[in-house]
Each structure stands twice: as C-alpha cells, then as structure tokens.
C-alpha cells in the first residue's frame, strides 16, 4: 500500500502530515492526516489516538481547530484523522447533496445497499485498513485509542465497543449516541443499511451496550447549549444503558458549551490525558 | 455605532463572538471577532490584543486555528481580530481577483488612489474606529497590544511603531518586514498609494524604524522553512535597522517551521506572555 505525502508542517516540535493512498476497502483515493509527536522515532514508537470527525468534515477540521498538539506532543501520542466518507468522482453522493448523507457523511458503517456498498465501507476502513497502513509506515505501536465528534463520536463509541481488543479507551464530544431513533441516523441508516432495522443495531452505541460486555473506559463530553442535543444526540439514553449494564462511562454535561470546535478545544486536553492513562498503562 | 451579534460560542469558560457593524471609515459593512476571557466584566475590564491576519484571511482564521484561547483566558487578555480588507459588493476588487491585492489584502494602509481610496482605509479602521467600537461596547480597558501574521505582521509592526501611545507591545509571525522592496508590497502599494515611492515609506517597518524613536518592545518569530521567507519577508533588513537604531526587537528564527497556523499555534502562548508583561505592568 503506497502512501503519497501531500503536505507537512512542523508543529510543537512534532509534525502534521497529510497522505493520500488508494483504499482497497473503499475503492477510491483517500486522504488522512497524522500528527507525530517529537518523541516518535523507530527506536521509540508511540501509541495512536484515532480521531473521527463529524458531518461535512475532512481530515483537516480536527487538525486545524482542536488545539490538541501541545498536549499530544507532551504526552507522546500520535493522532490520526481519516476523512469522513469515501471520496472522488466515482463515489455516489446523495441526489439532493444534503450535508447529512453521502459524501462527508459515511457514518463509520459498512453499507449493504446499492449503490452505496461499493464504496461506503468506513467501518472496515477505520478498524482494519487504516491502522494497518499507519502501523506499517510510521513509528507507532499497536496501542490504540479512539475518539470523535458528533457523527464521529458515534463512530468512536460503536467501533470502540465492538473492538475491545483493538482500542484501550474511547472518548467522544457531542456523539450521536442513539442513531437508530434520531433523524440523522434514520436517514443515513435507511439508505446505507436498508429497511430492516435489526441490522441498524450493529451501529448504535445504546443498543451495542446492551449486547456487549463493555469494560473499556468511555469519556463523553456534551455541551448543554448544543443546538442538536435534544433532537439528534440522546446522551441520556447512553447513560441509562451504561448504568444498567455496568459500563464504565463518564458522561459530563458542560454548561454553556455548543456543538463547535470551540467546545472541543476547551476539553481536548482532558480527553488526551484520559487516553494517556490507558495507552501508557504498565 | 451599532453592533450586531453574528455568532457566539463559549470557549475555555470565556466567549468567542462575532459582530457586524457599519464602518464609517471603510464605507461598508464589516465583521470582526472578539475573544473575552472569563475574568472580563464591567467591574474587571481587561486589556486587548489586536490581531491582524494575513492575505486571504478574515476574522476567522486566527480565532479558529491559533489555539490562543487557553492562555489568553488564563492571562485575562481579550483578543480582537478584524477582517483583512473592506468587504461587500460596493468594494472594488482586483480585476484579476488575485489573492495578494484587493479583497482580503488591504495591507493595513490608507489608500490615496482611485478607485481604492473610498473603502481601503484599513489603517484608520484598525487604529481609530475599531478600538473606539470595542472600548465602547465590551468590558475592556484602553491598554492595547498589537500582533499579526505575514501581511498582518506588517500591519502590526507599522501600526505599533507609528502609535507608541496606543500600543504597549508589538509582535509578529512571519511579517512582511520591508514591503517597499518585495513583490507583495510593491504590487499593493503601487495600486493603493500610487507611483510616488516616498509615500510608501509610511507603511514600511524597516523605513519607519529609521525615522521613529521606537521604544515599544517588539517580538518577531520567523520560521526558516517558510517558503516566502527569502522573496517576500526580509526579517534580516528589520533586524539590521533595529540594531542600528537601538530598537528593542527580538527576532527569533525558528528551525523547521513554515508560514502556516501550525507555526503560529506553536509559539502563540509565548507571544501572549510577552504582551502580558507589558499590558499588566505596574
């Protein structure tokens, strides 16, 4: 698997770099970004936090707006940010070009329906192909954590819960906790997965908590001034399921914060420290 | 002068807000952004750092990408970021829509030539109208510092040097130090100021240092991997003039850093601490 370096910039004595590659899982050209802390080297490989972004984002939003690099440099954690959907002219998009389905809205699932299933396989891309690529090409270990925002918070929760052997900690900002019962999730899942709602439960954190023995620590921050909170996010359903099934979830309602990267940057250092606790255990 | 609030988001317990207003200096509608630290209140007004952005930017680039708010919140400094030129349909733009002249490229000067002079009066806007507006409407003092990047670094240096009574400290990232002898400056100054190059010197930091008694502390960071360094920026000319005229300039060449906001975010905390030393003196 060949990587083409697209950009690089020194930051906090480490590096931010963007790469392009051909994804055999997604059947298209993909771009991702990686932050490498200054301590990363072949002699000192570092663990990786995978960051999954929200609707409309690319690999750039988190890397430019989250203010995460000072702390990640200090802790010695690499950060990898994939795109939010397959891309390119061959990839089908929503006929109405809506922001919440199609390009920029892959929902971190494996589509089963035409015409989506050829390309929209973001679950396998994030869980399998991307870590293989990263671990083969950069000075990193196979210690991984996963985090994300909004649609990417849904991705982090569902992927982390389903793969306890692959991720040592999970965190999310403003995640779509219960996509099977909210407009964003219903629209995307109907197209990608079809009308049989039993197949949707594989990609719903609240449902997964009921059927998986979750012991991975989970941190969720949610702003109470988030305009999407009531209709789309449903953190109370996540908390309810977590309590009932003894899942180590800490949900923090943050007073006055909205859905933006200003919220994320305020608490990202605490998320990095949370992941570091697990990544550097023993 | 009426302000219309366009957006607001809580960040680090403070606030990022955008405002629109009618500028009588620029003869158009303008937008600016302000960060207010959590300590700012009518009973505890805070000093202000004015940030001037570079070519193609708006009020948003610094506010979204500079990672400055944690430190500014801690220090108790407000930050105000204006746009980089007049805006709107009535405002003339470069016929070729180039990125380095016209809209997004006001160069923080007062144009004297047609058709530019009606709107392109960014010098007076930044020095007079904007601070009046800010100080009349927000819990801030009249203690001011000024900083900027690239074209905005040129703006910060020239405005700070010419107004020692208005700004207690000056800093810049990758400033256009000597615009009268580089392509970016020559192109813009010819259009805005005309062919008489003696009028250009009013907006050239290297020339101003020779004719002003500069005692205001100046901090400049310049990456040595900056692609614009040799052709456009000329920090060595600034340093030479500063040494000759005993100006308190610290120029730091930063190894491996480029012209981007990744560079700015790496050192912005040191710039904020530098300004705080002057803003909170006695």
Angle (nearest 5°) at CA A25 between A181 and A115: 55
The pLDDT > 90 percentage for chain A reads 98
Confidence grade of residue A5 (pLDDT, cut at 50, 70, 90): very high
pLDDT digits (tens, 9 = 90+) for A174-209: 999 999 999 999 999 999 999 999 999 999 999 999
Asked if B260 and B61 touch (Cβ cutoff 8 Å), the reply is no
pLDDT digits (tens, 9 = 90+) for A131-146: 999 999 999 999 999 9
pLDDT digits (tens, 9 = 90+) for B111-124: 999 999 999 999 99
Contact between chains at B266 and A223 (C-beta distance less than 8 A): no
Distance separating alpha carbons of residues A275 and A48, to the nearest angstrom: 10
pLDDT at A115: 97
> What mean pLDDT, rounded, does chain B reach?
97
Distance separating alpha carbons of residues B251 and B242, to the nearest angstrom: 10
Of A84, A73, A74, the closest CA to residue A33 belongs to A84
B47 CB burial (10 A radius; 0-12, 13-18, 19+): buried
pLDDT digits (tens, 9 = 90+) for A51-94: 999 999 999 999 999 999 999 999 999 999 999 999 999 999 99
> What mean pLDDT, rounded, does chain A reach?
97
pLDDT at A109: 98
pLDDT at B1: 64
Establish how many alpha carbons lie within 13 A of residue A148's alpha carbon, considering only the half-sphere containing its beta carbon. 30
3-state secondary structure of A187: helix
pLDDT at A1: 64
pLDDT at B212: 97
- Note the ipTM here: 0.95
Active site residues of A: 150, 226, 259
Distance separating alpha carbons of residues A227 and A174, to the nearest angstrom: 11
Pick B65's closest partner by Cβ from A10, A64, A223.
A64
β-strands B4-11, B14-23 pairing: antiparallel
pLDDT at A131: 98
Q: Any idea how long chain B is?
A: 282
Residue B66 has pLDDT above 70, yes or no: yes
pLDDT at A54: 98
β-strands A4-11, B78-82 pairing: unpaired
pLDDT digits (tens, 9 = 90+) for A39-51: 999 999 999 999 9
Q: What is the mean pLDDT of residues A270-277?
A: 98
Residue B266 has pLDDT above 70, yes or no: yes
Establish how many alpha carbons lie within 13 A of residue A250's alpha carbon, considering only the half-sphere containing its beta carbon. 10
The domain segmentation of chain B, as residue ranges, is 4-279
| CATH domain A4-279 topology | Rossmann fold (3.40.50)
Q: Which residues numbered 76-105 in B keep a CB inside 8 Å of some CB on A?
A: none
| Contact residues for B243 (Cβ-Cβ < 8 A; gap 6+) | none
Contact between chains at A10 and B263 (C-beta distance less than 8 A): yes
Q: What is the mean pLDDT of residues B218-223?
A: 98
Taking the CA atoms of residue A80, residue A85, residue A87 and residue A93 in that order, the dihedral angle to the nearest 10 degrees is -170
Asked if A168 and A143 touch (Cβ cutoff 8 Å), the reply is yes
Pick B262's closest partner by Cβ from A9, A65, A262.
A9
């Amino acid at each position: 698997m060949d990587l083409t370096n697209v950009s690089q910039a020194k930051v906090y004595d480490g590096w931010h770099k963007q790469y392009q590659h051909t994804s055999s899982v997604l059947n298209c050209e993909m771009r991702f970004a990686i932050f490498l802390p200054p301590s990363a080297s072949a002699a000192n490989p570092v663990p990786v936090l995978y960051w999954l972004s929200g609707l409309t984002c690319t690999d750039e939003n988190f890397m430019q707006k989250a203010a995460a690099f000072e702390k990640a440099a200090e802790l010695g954690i690499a950060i990898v940010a994939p795109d939010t959907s397959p891309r390119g002219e061959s990839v089908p998009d929503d006929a109405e070009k809506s922001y919440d389905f199609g390009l920029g809205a892959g929902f971190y699932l494996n589509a089963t329906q035409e015409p989506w299933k050829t390309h929209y396989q973001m679950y396998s891309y994030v869980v399998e192909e991307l870590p293989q690529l990263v671990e083969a090409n950069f000075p990193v270990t196979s210690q991984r954590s996963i985090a994300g925002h909004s649609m990417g918070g849904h991705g982090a929760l569902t992927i982390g819960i389903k793969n306890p052997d692959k991720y040592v900690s999970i965190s999310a900002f403003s995640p779509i906790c219960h996509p099977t019962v909210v407009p964003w999730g219903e629209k995307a899942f109907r197209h990608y997965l079809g009308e049989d709602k039993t197949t949707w439960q594989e990609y719903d954190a609240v449902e997964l908590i009921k059927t998986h023995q979750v012991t991975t620590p989970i941190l969720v921050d949610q702003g109470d001034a988030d305009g999407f909170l009531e209709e789309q996010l449903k953190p109370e359903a996540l908390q309810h399921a977590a309590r009932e099934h003894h899942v180590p979830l800490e949900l923090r309602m943050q007073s006055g914060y909205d859905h933006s990267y200003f919220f994320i940057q305020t608490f990202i250092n605490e998320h990095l420290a949370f992941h570091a606790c697990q990544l550097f255990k023993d």
